Amino acid sequence: MSLPSIVRTNTAELYDAYVMKNYARPALTLVRGQGVSVWDDTGKEYLDFTSGVAVAALGHCHPVWVEAIRRQAGELIHVSNLFRHPNQGELARRIVQHAGPGRVFFCNSGAEANEGLIKLARLHGMKKAGEEGKCIKIICAKNAFHGRTFGGMSATPQEKIQKGFRPLVPGFAFGEINHLQSFVDLVDADTAAIFVETVQGEGGVNPCTDEFLWGLRQLCDQHNLLLMLDEVQCGLGRTGTFYAFQASGIRADAVGMAKGIAGGYPMGAIWTAEKHAELFTPGTHGSTFGGTPLACAAALAVLDVMERENLLEKVRTLGSAWKTELEKLITDFPKHVRAVTGRGYMLGLAMHGDPAPYLAALREAGLLAPSAGGNTIRLLPPLIATKADLDRATALIRGVLAAQK
């Protein structure tokens, strides 16, 4: 059902007049979603492989998720962390079940989760050195993206992110992803932690190899460093395991998560291994809205559906077959597609040129997807996407590539 033209006009005009210009002008006005589809204000349907940038893990308006939100909204929405409530305790328990022995801190976004990890590294460095301000170095990866807060920007070595905001937070150094020696060379007595995305998202869908992650684990053990993993985009089932790092079999010291954890309701979290969980003591960190009854109800609904519908196995199996199909595009369209990266439902089509024209053509054809890393089309379907949904997306991509000159 399309909306009156005045609504369409007013929405664009309201954005132009009143919304901050920190985003590029949106191409569409979306008004409704169901499952893997969204509709714009003209009534046109799109296959949504943006998923709110890996947020809508259960797609749009999943009945279990909707009912959980409605029920909790009528019972208890917010109490602050001055008081306990059942949902937060249960959600923490279930996250620990997946991550391993440890404790959980709840916040509202990936940027906040990463800021918390940076603070954790500072506390570990102070404990390691015996004094504050000495052991503060955090080694991150080039091409990383850890957020737009000051700590997150400082850990993100991209000019487009940092420009205009210097001086940044000191203490960050950068090695090459999957080049262990470049990290080894940066470690010194003042190093507190290594902090990487298990799969770089905004940087172009670049996974850490198993060998690289094992090397980082050994390096951290050797020098008493925290191995902190940013799983904001790649975690919570998106690559076919609950956390992406679990496919390698390594052990993390701390993990940041957000995006898909609550299926579209704002939430972030940090899991910290038991050995380091006591670094945060009362008053050292906090969040007014972190882990509210409503947010936790949404997250518990996501976990319920993931387990009930066996979504991890589904993403592993279907994602692997889908990647094989997409890799055929490299041979069939060698002038356009250079590589296919990632795993599960977090894949990237690395193009030979600017992905913007392809993304516009895909949008016109009825497929929504974001870019990454300057030359990559990112494919982030909801975890509920079926083989038919993936096949439909592949067919649309093929059609667009075939039409290119």
Round to whole Å and give the CA distance between 246 and 249: 5
Q: What is the C-alpha to C-alpha distance for residues 374 and 347, in angstroms, rounded to an integer? A: 15
Who contacts 236 (Cβ-Cβ below 8 Å, separation ≥6)? 57, 242, 243, 257, 259, 260, 261, 302
- Is residue 230 a known part of a binding site? yes
291: left (phi over 0), alpha (psi -120 to 50) or beta: left
Q: Is 287 annotated as a binding residue?
A: yes
Q: List helix spans (H) across 86-109.
A: 86-99
Residue 156 marked as a ligand binder: no
SS3 396: helix
Is there a contact between 15 and 26 (Cβ–Cβ < 8 Å)? yes
Answer whether 140's CB lies under 8 Å from 157's CB.
Answer: yes
Q: Active-site residues: which are they?
A: 145, 230, 259
33 annotated as belonging to a binding site for a ligand: no
Is 288 marked as a binding-site residue?
A: yes
Return the exposure string of 109-122: e unless at least 16 CB atoms fall within 10 Å of the residue's CB, then b.
bbbbbbbbbbbbbb
356 is in an annotated binding site: no
Q: Tokens in use for 24?
A: 């590029």
d(CA 267, CA 304): 17
Is 111 marked as binding a ligand? yes
How many CB atoms neighbour CB 134 within 10 A?
14
Residue of 194, 292, 209 lying closest to 244 (CA atoms): 209
| Count of C-beta atoms within a 10 Å radius of residue 199 | 27
SS3 (DSSP) at 346: strand
Q: In this structure, are residues 239 and 247 in contact, taking their beta carbons and an 8 Å threshold?
A: yes
Q: How far apart are CA 248 and CA 93, in angstroms?
A: 23
**Residue 158 annotated in ligand binding:** no
Task: Tell me: is residue 52 an annotated ligand-binding position.
Answer: no
Binding site feature residues for pyridoxal 5'-phosphate: 110-111, 145, 230-233, 288
| Binding residue numbers for N(2)-acetyl-L-ornithine | 148, 287
Binding positions: 110-111, 145, 148, 230-233, 287-288
